[in-house]
A = this chain, B = another copy of it.
């Protein structure tokens, strides 16, 4: 998707105040190549081969990168986490309530809606870059 160069990824990690390690770059590199949010299982499975990385390390890197604001975590009611690169732009997806199908939808804005919600809110004064998941039934499950 975003597909950054190794140098760009290195810069991102450094600016986040994290140490540059092969594993950390491998995690970021993988996430920069896929188009849908990725499960930890998929990441572990993909990286174990070439990078001989342990799952604990994957989890720890996901946590540190997420903490640093480089990743977004999404849930989809699947009982496990998914991650994608934090692009700074909002992330919108349709999610099937029945199967694990999701679809990212690009090119819409809900800034007005978010503004309205904030106006009604007592506990929130602002949102950072947001994500929105709309649940429904995919064509297959409908």
Contacts and interface: CB of A to CB of B under 8 A. Distances in A.
Contact of A136 (B81, B113, B128, B137): B128
Interface residues of A, number: 44
Contacts of A132: 132-134
Contacts of A92: 117
Interface string A119-137: 0111111111011111111
Which of A81, A101, A114, A133 is most buried by chain B, counting CB atoms within 10 A of its CB? A133
A79 B134 CA distance: 19
Nearest to A74: B77
Nearest to A92: B117
17 contacts: A75-B77, A79-B81, A92-B117, A96-B123, A103-B124, A105-B120, A108-B116, A114-B134, A123-B138, A125-B139, A125-B142, A126-B136, A126-B142, A128-B136, A128-B137, A130-B134, A132-B133
